[in-house]
Amino acid sequence: MCGIVGYIGESEAAPILLEGLSKLEYRGYDSAGIAVYNGTAIEMIKSRGRLKVLNELTHGGASLPGRAGIGHTRWATHGSPSDSNAHPHFNGDNSIVVVHNGIIENYLKLKKKLEAKGYEFVSETDTEVIAHLLDYYYDGNPLEAIAKIMYRVEGSYALGIMFEDHPREVYAVRKDSPLIVGKSEKGNFIASDVPAILKYTRDVYFMENEEIVCLNKEDVTFYNIDEEVLVKTPVTIEWDIAAAEKGGYEFFMLKEMYEQPKAVSDTLMPRLKNGDIVIEELQMTEEEIRDIRKIYLVACGSAYHTAVTAKYVFEGLARVPVEVDLASEFRYRNPIFEPGTLVIIISQSGETADSLAALREAQKHGCKVLGIVNVVGSSIAREADTVMYTWAGPEIAVATTKAYSTQLIVHYLLALKFAKVRGKVNDIKFREMIEDLKRLPEQIELLLANKEKIQRFANRYLAAEHVFFIGRGIDYAISLEGSLKLKEISYIHSEAYAAGELKHGTISLIEDGTLVTAVLTQDHLFKKTISNVVEVKTRGAFVLAVAHAGNAEIEKTADYVIYLPKTNEYFTNSLAVIPLQLFAYYVSLGKGLDVDKPRNLAKSVTVE
Ligand code: AGP
């Protein structure tokens, strides 16, 4: 997720582009750049680092005169943050310039074809392919060239494009990634989101998929992929800028919860090809996968909780022994590293000190380390032997939600891939599970639509002092995350327990009205967990149950039930965590707390 902006009009473009980008930094902030037509040519300045670096480099835009330009603030997905990977990207002779938000899924194939035709690439990005592809099809008609590349490019994109020989026009095109067009007396705009242009206009057009727009300083004209003119109606935006940055959500955490269906899809779909799981970045041969004798899953906090789930999935599906470790323990406990050990480090930020140290400890003992990371170019991403990115986009709220959900998806993909290569799952089962994975985004969407019901329930527990989460198997792993979410943003003491363990001590804490959240998504453990629910009920607990649709038997025991759509038992964590995130969110909101920036916490813990 990056931010793009464009302007053409009576004013100097660069200051407007920089201002717009500053309002889009929540979409990505690892590098930035602008390109402006200065009357004779397109000039570009771009750099690694936050927007303020670009601001200094361009002296607030003053060193790039001109009244038409495009700009970009980046969240790296392909190619680490660097000056050369920053956007915009030129074609060979700097006559075409492009900014892009999205992922070009077939960029490697297109790149090979273009290189075979003599095109030279200066960056590692998927986006540069667009600049050269436009060049290849360009014969003086921008619209035609854009339409031609749309037929050949796969993936998601919002593009801002300028052609040196059409200096009075700025072009843009959209497929899947958001793009808006703003119209004002003083000029016209393109942007990834409303905050970038609200200062200048509230008259906005929302671009639909496969629509192209041509801006000049007086007007905006929309086209479809067949270059036919489209008539569109603008809407007037009422929001203030701060609200707009959150997309109208009160807190980034809720916005990021609602981004989970897309984040899960963005992380899953590029790795599903022709009914198979293809993980190019894994760089392991099938033989190497068969030779894995043991896996260590190492992380902190919520990332560690995904590892607890992943142990059940890897061992259950691929029959590989897995040890799950807290990074702060792993780095000092002198773990045993035998040949055939794969160490997987999971981290949203890629900068967590304990996880980074665990990585170095494993490498010191000659172990291959796979990083599962959300921030491209972060320390763990750079130092791991191989890295699988979770394409959740930037996560602003301290309490992770969408990054957590995408980490689960990467675990499922790896475990299912290993299971197939090691002959532990047959083709029918494999295909069925792929279909189950593909259904997760829409099922998560369904659960998010349940928020009012959960808000009403949460409002009854604003004054709770102690809350317990219980479950067996993967449900225990889900309980760990549900409990942490509640603790970290509501400051209520909460604990998660393996349901069968409660009677060995902790059940002494259960008294009249104590809220116990029981997670029961594993059919083979359902009855066992019901009996644990009965145990706490008889001690006066109020039980909130999270169960699969169809398991109505739970109604007889629990006081309140949230039902989940059906999915494969190994994937239930991706669904059950949604109501638990919402519960924590609404308790924190109900208590009037700063949901996004909870006390005593940081988004990335870079100290021991
Ligand atoms: C989770 O909501 C917290 N922000 C925290 O537990 C976090 O998961 C932990 O600090 C690990 O961070 P990482 O994924 O960036 O390494």
- Kindly report, residue by residue over 547-562, the tens digit of the pLDDT: 998 777 899 999 999 9
In 3D space, the residue among 271, 313, 285 whose CA is nearest the CA of residue 424 turns out to be 313
Can you give the length of the chain in residues? 608
The amino acid at 512: D
R_g of the chain, CA atoms, integer Å = 25
Backbone dihedral angles phi then psi of residue 212, each to the nearest 5 degrees: -115, 145
Q: Which atom of ligand 1 is nearest to the CA of 403?
A: 14
The tokens for 513 are 């009205």
Backbone dihedral angles phi then psi of residue 111, each to the nearest 5 degrees: -60, -45
**What is the predicted pLDDT for the residue at 241?**
65
Instruction: Tell me the CB-side half-sphere exposure of residue 228, using CA atoms within 13 A.
Output: 3
Distance (Å) from CA 360 to ligand 1 centroid: 19
Question: In whole angstroms, what is the distance from residue 330 CA to residue 343 CA?
Answer: 11
Helix spans in 422-466 (H)? 427-448, 451-458
Q: Is 424 labeled as catalytic in the residue annotation?
A: no
Contact 459, 434 (CB under 8 A): no
| Strands of 55-169, DSSP E | 68-74, 89-90, 96-104, 155-163
**What is the predicted pLDDT for the residue at 187?**
96
Q: Is 214 labeled as catalytic in the residue annotation?
A: no
In 3D space, the residue among 279, 265, 252 whose CA is nearest the CA of residue 372 turns out to be 279
Instruction: Tell me the CB-side half-sphere exposure of residue 413, using CA atoms within 13 A.
Output: 28
Per the listing, tokens 């854009």 go with: 146
Task: Tell the residue nearest (CA) to atom 7 of ligand 1.
Answer: 301
In 3D space, the residue among 366, 412, 360 whose CA is nearest the CA of residue 388 turns out to be 412
**What is the predicted pLDDT for the residue at 176?**
86
**What is the predicted pLDDT for the residue at 576?**
98
Task: Tell the residue nearest (CA) to atom 5 of ligand 1.
Answer: 301
Question: In whole angstroms, what is the distance from residue 334 CA to residue 86 CA?
Answer: 41
Distance (Å) from CA 315 to ligand 1 centroid: 24
* Any ligand 1 atom below 6 A from CB of 302: yes
Q: Return the number of other C-beta atoms located less than 10 Å from residue 251's C-beta.
A: 21
Taking each helix axis from N to C terminus, what angle separates 107-116 and 128-137, rounded to the nearest 10 degrees?
Answer: 50
Instruction: DSSP for 494-543, please give it.
Output: EEEEEGGGGGGTGGGG--TT-EEEEEE--GGGHHHHHHHHHHHHTTT-EE
Q: Return the number of other C-beta atoms located less than 10 Å from residue 95's C-beta.
A: 17
Q: Of all helices (H) and strands (E), which one includes residue 343?
A: strand 341-347
Per the listing, tokens 């104590």 go with: 514
Question: In whole angstroms, what is the distance from residue 135 CA to residue 138 CA?
Answer: 5
Per the listing, tokens 């109606």 go with: 233
Contact 374, 350 (CB under 8 A): yes
Using alpha carbons, list the distances in angstroms from residue 275 to 38, 323, 490.
49, 30, 43
pLDDT tens per residue across span 406-431: 999 999 999 999 999 999 999 999 99
Q: Which atom of ligand 1 is nearest to the CA of 602?
A: 4
Q: What phi-psi label fits residue 113: left (phi over 0), alpha (psi between -120 and 50 degrees) or beta? A: alpha
The tokens for 605 are 């813990």
In 3D space, the residue among 102, 78, 71, 85 whose CA is nearest the CA of residue 1 turns out to be 102
The tokens for 456 are 């009403």
Strand order in the sheet with 542-548: 493-498, 466-471, 515-520, 542-548, 560-564
Which residue among 251, 300, 488 is best mutated to probe the pocket of ligand 1, counting the most ligand atoms within 8 A of its Cβ?
300
In 3D space, the residue among 204, 187, 264 whose CA is nearest the CA of residue 12 turns out to be 187
* Overall pTM surpassing 0.95 (yes/no): no
Distance (Å) from CA 23 to ligand 1 centroid: 26
Q: Return the number of other C-beta atoms located less than 10 Å from residue 49's C-beta.
A: 16
| Regions of the chain where pLDDT drops below 50 | none
Annotated catalytic residue, options 2, 214, 300, 367: 2
Task: Identify the three-state secondary structure at position 117.
Answer: coil
